[in-house]
């Protein structure tokens, strides 16, 4: 399996420990930076869209299987500490600049510099409704 970052996320948090547990619990905004080869994939985003930001918690402890003093398994939580620290954050799109490859988003919960794996506009934002 191979997975390469397509950019990174700029946030006000030096570590995931400084970030809110979930993006919607805070009021911080950040910038998603998409590397040049992938910028054409930004066509169609518009302010107000809900965007699922898929990112990698590169500084996470990958040995964690139990959290909250051992009361819960890591797979029942949104903790970035997990065997494969793939994280999902739903953000609100404030502005997009396709040429610069940037998305200004609200509701970030990742550490500054976190690798960006993917972006997905949610169905609610697109007006397409639920899939059949």
Q: Is the pLDDT of residue 128 over 80?
A: no
Query: Is the overall model pTM greater than 0.75, yes or no?
Result: yes
pLDDT mean over 8-30: 82
CATH code at 7-124: 2.40.30.70
pLDDT mean over 121-127: 68
pLDDT attached to residue 119: 98
pLDDT attached to residue 25: 63
Bridge partners (DSSP) of residue 56 are 86
- Which is more confident, 132 or 101? 101
Helix (H/G/I), strand (E/B), else coil: 132: coil
Residue 24: pLDDT band by 50, 70, 90 thresholds? low
Q: Is the pLDDT of residue 60 over 80?
A: yes
pLDDT attached to residue 96: 97
pLDDT attached to residue 45: 96
Residue 132: pLDDT band by 50, 70, 90 thresholds? very low
The 3-state secondary structure of 115-130, one letter per residue: EEEEEEECHHHHCCCC
Q: Residue 40 and residue 30: Cα distance in Å, rounded?
A: 21
What's CA 32's distance to the chain center, in Å? 9
pLDDT mean over 50-66: 93
């Amino acid at each position: 399996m191979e997975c390469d970052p397509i950019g990174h996320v700029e946030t006000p948090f030096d570590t995931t420990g400084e970030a809110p547990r979930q993006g919607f619990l805070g009021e911080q905004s950040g910038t998603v930076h998409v590397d040049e080869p992938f910028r054409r994939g930004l066509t169609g985003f518009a302010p107000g869209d809900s965007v699922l930001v898929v990112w990698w918690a590169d500084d996470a402890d990958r040995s964690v299987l139990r959290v909250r003093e051992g009361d819960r398994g890591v797979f029942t939580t949104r903790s970035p500490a997990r065997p494969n620290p793939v994280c999902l954050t739903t953000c609100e799109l404030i502005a997009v600049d396709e040429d610069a490859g940037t998305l200004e988003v609200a509701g970030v919960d990742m550490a500054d510099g976190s690798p960006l794996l993917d972006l997905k506009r949610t169905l609610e934002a697109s007006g397409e409704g639920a899939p059949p």
